[in-house]
Amino acid sequence: MTIKLICLDADDTLWHNMRHFNAAEESLFTMLRPFAEADIARDRLARCEERNLKLYGYGAKGFTLSMIETALEVGGDRLPPQLIRDILHAGRQLLAHPVELLGDIQQTLESLAQRGRLALVTKGDLLHQESKLAASGLGDLFATIEIVSDKKAATFERLFERQGVRPEEAVMAGDSLRSDVLPALEAGAWAAFVPHDLQWSHEHAEEPVGHRRYKRLGSLADLPAWIDEIGLAA
Amino acid sequence: MTIKLICLDADDTLWHNMRHFNAAEESLFTMLRPFAEADIARDRLARCEERNLKLYGYGAKGFTLSMIETALEVGGDRLPPQLIRDILHAGRQLLAHPVELLGDIQQTLESLAQRGRLALVTKGDLLHQESKLAASGLGDLFATIEIVSDKKAATFERLFERQGVRPEEAVMAGDSLRSDVLPALEAGAWAAFVPHDLQWSHEHAEEPVGHRRYKRLGSLADLPAWIDEIGLAA
């Protein structure tokens, strides 16, 4: 089977992301220490994010709003306005931090581009993802950029149709089982899980061990070899 | 010249939008009355939005963050936490309000769809625009949905290329001279300005009176007739 379309996640697959969200969270828990233990604040924030997901969607702006809501919840009427100012500042830093590519990404993408068309499939704030892609210098390597509100099987089905490939001619690689691997498999494509040290609990899902079209890779640099393997299979 | 692609703005072209932002603003100015006159608060909010546009982009989440920042600026350290809670609530209402179509939109779109493929071209929060389109029940009438971070000439050039039409075979209609009319004209397309009673000052621009491919319409319902006129012209 020949792979024609190679789909890649962006955050924590091409460049660092979670470390910035984690740093913002940690600074929130430090700010809230006069009002609550870090574990309690962490739990409140996770619930708040989950509750707001349907309305805010993914991304740094909704996350900043959830940090503010959590601070109000934890601090009550004693919360000093300066603390909200500091959260807004942390949110702006999340949106403005420099893009740091994961190791060997440029080289890996060039190697992948020799094997098929590249598609970037990412969720989050539209402008923020566009800005990070522009700052990464990787934009020209991609045949198409898909910034989506969520990644479901239908997201991948539509992409394959627009790109004129059958699902079994496409592969998706990313650091989330829930958002990258499972929906791509459900859409009939191949899927590579490239775990990142930092993982958002929301993205957790059961690993589809033993699935014919699934592979866990140690690094994105191993993807070209797997694509070659798929090409050799009947 | 035959028009093949009919591009339409969404907010305040298909459905009401500014009235909801204006209501949120007015409730903010009422909340801030103990600290500042409405005119001063309005001016501060406008500056804050303009300053944050590059980082937050367009949409209700960035607007909510700017309302919070303005409240902190105007209220200083005397700002009660309850006021921030109320702003978050106003922001959530902005994201959750029911979609109210402008008059005769369904009928107008059906009439337009007989004349060419329809493309929705809108900016704002990705999930929010998708949700509004889903709630509007108009989604099936559009051949393509483009939710973009900003509308520039290049945005339209890329769209025309993807849709396989020459610029002079496309028309764009919307309520913003700055975001709908001028970039579409610059890209070589026809452009109709359909002014809405409520206009965001940020979207103001010089009207291209006398431009061969420009027309000001009293209502979107006048667009099919203008497209027919273009078709009859040499």
Residues B181, B156, B211, B13: what is their CA dihedral angle, to the nearest 10 degrees? -30
A233: pLDDT strictly greater than 90: no
A182 confidence band (pLDDT: 50, 70, 90):
very high
Give me the residue from B69, B79, B92 closest to A88, CB to CB: B69
In this predicted structure, the answer to whether residue B145 has a pLDDT above a threshold of 80 is: yes
- At residue B202, the pLDDT reads 75
Chain B CB contacts of A65 below 8 Å: 61, 64-65, 88, 91
The closest alpha carbon to A11, from A21, A1, A24, A2, belongs to A21
Mutant choice from A125, A131, A132, A158 vs B, greatest count of B C-beta within 10 A: A125
Shortest alpha-carbon distance between residue A121 and chain B (Å): 14
- Domains with residue ranges and CATH for chain A: 5-15+100-232 (3.40.50.1000), 18-96 (1.10.150.240)
Residue of A nearest to B132 (CA): A55
Taking the CA of residue A13 and the nearest CA in chain B, the distance in Å comes to 22
- Look at A72 and B84 and tell me if their CB atoms are within 8 Å: yes
Considering only CB atoms, which chain A residues are within 8 Å of B130?
Answer: 149
Q: Which of B56, B58, B126 sits opposite A147 (nearest CB)?
A: B126
Question: According to the model, what pLDDT value does residue A21 have?
Answer: 95
Q: How far A127 CA lies from chain B's nearest CA (Å)?
A: 5
Task: Summarize the confidence of residues A13-24 as an average pLDDT.
Answer: 95
- Determine how β-strand A144-148 pairs with β-strand A170-174: unpaired
**Considering only CB atoms, which chain B residues are within 8 Å of A60?**
none
| A49 pLDDT more than 90 | yes
Which residues touch B46 (CB under 8 Å, ≥6 apart)? B201
Q: Tell me the nearest-neighbour CA distance from B213 into chain A, angstroms.
A: 30
Query: Is the minimum CB–CB distance between B69 and chain A shorter than 8 Å?
Result: yes
Question: Across residues B194-210, what is the average pLDDT?
Answer: 85
Q: Is A164 on the interface with B (CB under 8 A)?
A: no
- Say what the pLDDT of residue A234 is: 58
Mean pLDDT for the stretch of residues A153-165: 96
Tell me the pLDDT of chain A averaged across its residues: 95
Q: Check residue B234 and give its pLDDT.
A: 58
pLDDT of residue B1: 80
Among A52, A54, A126, pick the best mutation site for testing chain B contact (most B Cβ within 10 A). Answer: A126
Q: Do A82 and B77 touch (CB under 8 A)?
A: yes
Inform me whether the C-beta atom of residue B178 falls under 8 Å from chain A C-beta atoms.
no
Secondary structure of A118-144 as H, E, C letters? EEEEEECCHHHHHHHHHHHCCHHHCCE
Nearest alpha-carbon partner for A6 in A102, A107, A113 = A113
Q: Which helix (H) or strand (E) holds B101?
A: none
In the predicted model, is pLDDT for residue B29 greater than 90? yes
- The H or E element containing residue B174 is strand B170-174
Q: What is the pLDDT of residues A3-14, one digit of tens each?
A: 999 999 999 999
ipTM metric: 0.92
pLDDT digits (tens, 9 = 90+) for A112-129: 999 999 999 999 889 999
**How does pLDDT run across A193-202, given as a tens digit for each residue?**
999 987 777 7
B68 interfacial to chain A (CB closer than 8 Å)? yes
pLDDT digits (tens, 9 = 90+) for B66-101: 999 999 999 999 999 999 999 999 999 999 989 999
Asked if the C-beta of B95 comes within 8 angstroms of chain A's C-beta atoms, the answer is yes
Stronger pLDDT, A199 or A49, i.e. the higher one = A49
Residues in chain B within 8 Å Cβ distance of A64: 65
Instruction: Give me the mean pLDDT over the A133-161 stretch.
Output: 95
Contact (Cβ atoms closer than 8 angstroms) between residue A184 and residue A154 = no
Reply yes or no on whether the pLDDT at B205 is more than 80: yes
- What confidence tens digit (pLDDT) does each residue in B40-71 have? 999 999 999 999 999 999 999 999 999 999 99
Q: What is the dihedral of CA A41, A180, A116, A159, to 10 degrees?
A: -110
